[in-house]
Amino acid sequence: MNAANHYKIGTQNFDYSPQYNFIARKDKGFAWAVLEAFAKQENINFEYVPLPLRRLQDELKRGSIDFIYPDNVRWLQGEDSHPSNKIFSRALTMATYGTMVHQRREGEGAEKFRSVAFPKGFTPTKWRILLQQKPLQLVETSTPELALKMVLRNRVDGADIEYNVTQFILNKLGQPGKLVMDDTLPITVVGFRVSTIRHKEMINKLNTFLIENQALIERLKKRYKIRSDDAEHE
């Protein structure tokens, strides 16, 4: 494989299974399986470069990486907004973010909430809006698992975590179904996309691949137990 066919994808440097886990040595999750299938079709090679969340955008602008995954046009605002020449692929999957609570607290609503945990680098936008209306503690954790453990141990009222990631972690902890997503609390559906500044032609090819290989993608979702909503809300 020559250098012209080699591309670097900047990724998050933590475990977000089953969506992705680019620090794993072998199976790196659903997104990796999709991207590897695309790379095989195009006879190219992807090198996955795990980076701290806050460095990804800078490294893309600097040119040390060719792509970012996952990315979304709505994730940056104000001074940190995306460059005008940055483009995004179709969504590899739609991710549902919601507040995970103990079953006994489902349906209580935001009025009784005093604290919400979330992984470092993720911004629970709708909870921040509620913060302007009532006293609320937002607790940042180093991993999604730690955020969920805080709920399980009653140290916070809920955790803002992606649905499929929550199910994976609860199963790993031997506590499936222990927490539920409360649909009376903030929910966001967002597309996990590939972004680039310099490789528009590759994004076009990826989009075509995603459209033409729906059966493959559905098989991979079943393999990794990914439940995906159809519409992007944010």
| 113 and 179, same domain (yes or no) | yes
Q: What range does the domain containing 121 cover? A: 96-188
Whether the predicted pLDDT of 116 surpasses 70: yes
| 136 and 113, same domain (yes or no) | yes
Whether the predicted pLDDT of 44 surpasses 60: yes
| 119 and 183, same domain (yes or no) | yes
**Residue 152 included in any domain:** yes
Residue 198: give its domain's CATH number: 3.40.190.10
Q: Are 195 and 68 in contact (CB under 8 A)?
A: yes
Q: How far apart are CA 61 and CA 82, in angstroms?
A: 10
Question: Rounded mean pLDDT of 99-112?
Answer: 91
Task: Name the phi and psi angles at 85, rounded to 5.
Answer: -95, 10
pLDDT of residue 136: 85
| 125 and 58, same domain (yes or no) | no
Number of domains within the chain? 2
Q: How far apart are CA 81 and CA 61, in angstroms?
A: 12
User: Which element (helix H / strand E) includes 10?
Assistant: strand 6-12
pLDDT of residue 148: 97
pLDDT digits (tens, 9 = 90+) for 197-215: 999 999 999 999 999 999 9
Whether the predicted pLDDT of 62 surpasses 80: yes
**Residue 231 included in any domain:** no
Q: How far apart are CA 211 and CA 66, in angstroms?
A: 22
**Residue 233 included in any domain:** no
| 116 and 137, same domain (yes or no) | yes
Question: Rounded mean pLDDT of 186-205?
Answer: 95
| 79 and 15, same domain (yes or no) | yes
pLDDT digits (tens, 9 = 90+) for 119-158: 987 877 778 777 777 788 889 999 999 999 999 999 999 9
**Residue 62 included in any domain:** yes
| 38 and 61, same domain (yes or no) | yes
Q: Are 147 and 118 in contact (CB under 8 A)?
A: yes
Q: How far apart are CA 33 and CA 197, in angstroms?
A: 23
Q: How far apart are CA 47 and CA 8, in angstroms?
A: 5
Q: How far apart are CA 57 and CA 77, in angstroms?
A: 13
| Lowest mean pLDDT segment, chosen from 116-120, 152-156, 214-218, 228-232 | 228-232
